[in-house]
């Protein structure tokens, strides 16, 4: 019997189809192909699983590490993993989903609120929706009301500092298969041979991070320490200041000794329960009534699924909820600060979809005209605009694209990051402007593999066949991602593309792209980006 069951691979594929393989990179064209040919993809991952050693030697895992902004002055590495190996890794973890969740602190304790694996093994969403940041904060509020002191702290560079042997040990205690060995081999490849670090942004890393830190959860419980945790954030509750410091010391010691992790000193605070409650976000206080527009904005659930059977009703309900909020005044208030309040602006950006048309155009114009001030949430703005692109008016599209092209022309640091450029490709490709071809040509020559892949599909989607005809002659030495994108795009080149495909040696991953793209014509590529 195979170690990874077909149902695990199907669920991993459905999760990727519904949510993408990561929440920090754009939805790749490979994910669209997985949606179009799910059965073929599942069969491919089955073969990979059954012949892991052969595949990892003949098709070494492709990945891309690039910078992403954190705040105004910081950056972090984010990693995009080859969609095939990502699906295999996630499938392997889902094979043991029940055991992994059962090994964690029970939800009845209400202390651990992050990424609880769903008991429903048939759903595309892997995690229970009721356990989240809001439940963490509201449970913390309830406990703070009953304690004299609260400690708030978080782990420094949590994902990037997790040691692989800790992951291996944690998985092997629960997973009685060879899957942990294979996952560690992949992690080592993604970390360039170093013995630590989980890729940021995907569900597989979230599952692994939770099972690793689970040890500390158990040790805190055994010591009688009253705490709540969400990912790397800890809240500890104590009846005296002395007890609060004792608990903080124990948490620090447990993390260093057992996980080699440290707390962020600058984010660690010991305060009274009254102070914690007094500074608690008003929109999260159970039973509180929102007074201001800002408070009302935070009470609105902006999660909207356009593919839901009730999508039309949900959208109208969301619009109605936002109708009484002075969106532009809230935005203007933030833009008059030296640094914006990131949660507020993030919420405003997420609300863009359901804002009235006239207000929306002015809001978009204001947002793209003040990008330096919005740098910490610029990726979120690009993500939202990308998700709305089918609904943007011609004028709104021009406003957005002109702003992006100006940033590129000015060589702005705002468009120097490949992750921002990747989102920009998905907005620019529709603009009939010669400047887009120039920008795409530069990015195709000088971008990372993930960006080059997206630019190829962007050129195909805008009918840039002269550029792709030229580039196909220079694919020797390019990465697997670039080659696969060119395979998909080559069908728009007719016989010229066919001859190019026939001249290339293809592996199983390449053949999946070739076969799934074979019914494309020159007008089909907008669906891939």
Helix, strand, coil shares of the chain, percent, nearest 5, are: 60, 10, 30
Strand, coil or helix: 178: coil
- Backbone phi, psi, residue 512, to 5°: -60, -45
Contacts of 121 (CB under 8 A, 6+ apart): 7, 11, 97, 98
Q: Token pair of 52, please?
A: 């892991």
Query: Does residue 428 form part of some domain?
Result: no
Q: Domain for residue 426, yes or no? A: no
Same domain (yes/no): 240, 306: no
pLDDT computed for residue 358 by the predictor? 85
Q: Which residues of 146-174 are buried (b: 16+ CB within 10 A; e: fewer)?
A: ebebbbbbbbbebbebbbbebbbebbeeb
Within this chain, do residues 268 and 204 fall inside the same structural domain, yes or no?
yes
Whether 422 maps to a domain, the answer reads no
b/e burial code for range 465-500 (CB count within 10 A of at least 16 → b) = bebbeebbeebeebbbbbbbbbbbbbbbbeeebeeb
Please tell me whether residues 117 and 176 are part of one structural domain.
yes
Residue 28 lies in a domain: yes
In three state form, how does the secondary structure of 373-407 look? HHHHHHHHHHHHHHHCCCCCCHHHHHHHHHHHHHH
Contact 90, 204 (CB under 8 A): yes
Indicate the pTM of the whole model: 0.92
In a domain, 425, yes or no: no
Through-space distance between the first and last CA atoms of the chain, rounded to whole angstroms: 38
Q: What is the DSSP string of 82-135?
A: PHHHHHHHHHHHHTTHHHHHHTSPPGGG--B-S-PBPS-TT-S--B-TTSSHHH
Residue with tokens 């069908």: 491
Domain boundary among 279, 305, 326: 279
Where a domain ends, among 381, 416, 451?
416
Instruction: From residue 522, give the alpha-carbon distance in Å to each of 433, 463, 465, 495, 499.
Output: 19, 7, 9, 13, 17
Residues 80 and 203 in one domain: yes
Q: Are 220 and 337 in a shared domain?
A: no
Domain boundary among 252, 279, 306: 279
> What are the E-state strand segments in 248-348?
269-272
Query: Do 257 and 297 fall within a single domain?
Result: no
Domain count, the chain: 3
Specify if 495 maps to a domain: yes
**Quick one: 124 and 74 in the same domain?**
yes
Measured over the CA atoms of residue 376, residue 17, residue 494 and residue 523, the dihedral's sign is negative
- Among residues 105, 291, 93, which one has the least CA distance to residue 206? 93
**pLDDT value for 108:** 96
Kindly state whether residue 119 falls inside one of the protein's structural domains: yes
Predicted local confidence at residue 101, as pLDDT? 97
3-state class of 279 per DSSP? coil
Q: With contact defined as beta carbons under 8 Å apart, do 15 and 124 qualify?
A: yes
Between CA 138 and CA 285 the distance in angstroms is 7
What is residue 310's predicted lDDT score, i.e. its pLDDT? 63
242 C-beta neighbours (distance < 10 Å), count: 10
Range of the domain at 139: 6-279
Backbone angles phi, psi at 389, to 5 degrees: -60, -30
Q: Is residue 226 part of a domain?
A: yes
Pair (347, 484) in one structural domain: no
Helix (H, G, I), strand (E, B) or coil at 3: coil
Residue that has been written with the tokens 């620090």 in this structure: 252
Residue 89 and residue 210 in one domain: yes
Question: Does residue 142 share a domain with residue 28?
Answer: yes
Q: Could you tell me if 228 and 311 lie in one domain?
A: no
- Rounded Cα distance between 428 and 421, Å, is 10
Q: For the CA atoms of the chain, what is the radius of gyration?
A: 24
Q: For each successive 10 residues of the chain (529 residues), what is the average pLDDT?
A: 87 93 91 96 96 92 90 90 94 96 97 95 90 96 97 96 96 94 94 89 96 98 98 98 98 97 96 95 73 77 63 69 81 90 90 84 93 91 90 92 96 94 95 94 96 97 95 92 96 94 92 93 84
pLDDT the model gives residue 324: 75
Residue 215 sits in the same domain as residue 122:
yes
């Amino acid at each position: 019997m195979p170690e990874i069951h077909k149902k695990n691979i199907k669920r991993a594929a459905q999760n990727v189809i519904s949510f993408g393989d990561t929440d920090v990179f754009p939805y790749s064209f490979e994910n669209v192909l997985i949606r179009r040919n799910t059965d073929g993809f599942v069969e491919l991952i089955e073969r990979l699983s059954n012949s892991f050693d052969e595949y990892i030697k003949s098709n070494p895992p492709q990945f891309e590490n690039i910078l992403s902004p954190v705040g105004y002055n910081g950056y972090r590495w984010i990693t995009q993993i080859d969609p095939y190996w990502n699906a295999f890794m996630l499938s392997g973890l889902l094979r043991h989903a029940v055991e992994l969740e059962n090994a964690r602190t029970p939800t009845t304790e209400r202390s651990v609120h992050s990424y609880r694996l769903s008991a429903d093994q048939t759903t595309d969403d892997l995690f229970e929706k009721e356990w989240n940041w809001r439940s963490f904060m509201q449970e913390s509020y309830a406990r703070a009301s009953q304690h004299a002191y609260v400690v708030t702290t978080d782990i420094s560079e949590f994902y990037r500092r997790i040691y692989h042997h800790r992951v291996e040990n944690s998985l092997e205690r629960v997973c009685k298969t060879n899957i942990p060995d294979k996952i560690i081999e992949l992690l080592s490849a993604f970390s360039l041979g170093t013995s630590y670090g989980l890729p940021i942004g995907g569900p597989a890393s979230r599952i692994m991070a939770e099972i690793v830190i689970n040890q500390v959860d158990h040790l805190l419980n055994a010591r009688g320490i009253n705490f709540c945790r969400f990912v790397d954030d800890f809240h500890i509750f104590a009846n005296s200041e002395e007890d609060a410091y004792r608990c903080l010391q124990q948490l620090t010691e447990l993390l260093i000794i057992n996980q080699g992790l440290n707390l962020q000193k600058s984010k660690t605070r010991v305060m009274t329960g009254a102070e914690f409650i007094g500074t608690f976000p008003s929109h999260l206080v159970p039973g509180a009534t929102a007074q201001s527009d800002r408070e009302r904005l935070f009470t609105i659930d902006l999660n909207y699924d356009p593919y839901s059977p009730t999508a039309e009703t949900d959208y109208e309900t969301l619009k109605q909820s936002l109708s009484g909020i002075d969106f532009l005044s809230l935005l203007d208030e933030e833009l008059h600060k030296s640094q914006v309040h990131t949660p507020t602006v993030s919420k405003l950006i997420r609300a863009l979809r359901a804002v009235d048309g006239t207000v929306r155009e002015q809001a978009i114009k204001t947002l793209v005209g003040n990008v330096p001030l919005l740098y910490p949430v610029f990726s979120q703005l690009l993500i939202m605009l990308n998700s709305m692109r089918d609904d943007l008016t011609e004028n709104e599209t021009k406003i957005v694209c002109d702003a992006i092209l100006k940033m590129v022309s000015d060589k702005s640091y705002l468009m120097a990051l490949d992750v921002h450029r990747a989102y920009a490709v998905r907005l620019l490709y529709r603009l009939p402007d010669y400047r887009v071809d120039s920008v795409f040509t530069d990015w195709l020559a000088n971008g990372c593999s993930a960006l080059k892949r997206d630019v190829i599909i962007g050129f195909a989607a805008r009918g840039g066949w002269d550029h792709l005809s030229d580039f196909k002659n220079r694919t020797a030495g390019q990465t697997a991602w670039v080659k696969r994108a060119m395979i998909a795009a080559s069908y728009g080149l007719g016989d010229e593309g066919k001859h190019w495909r026939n001249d290339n040696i293809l592996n199983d991953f390449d053949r999946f792209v070739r076969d799934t793209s074979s019914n494309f014509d020159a007008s089909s590529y907008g669906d891939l980006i």
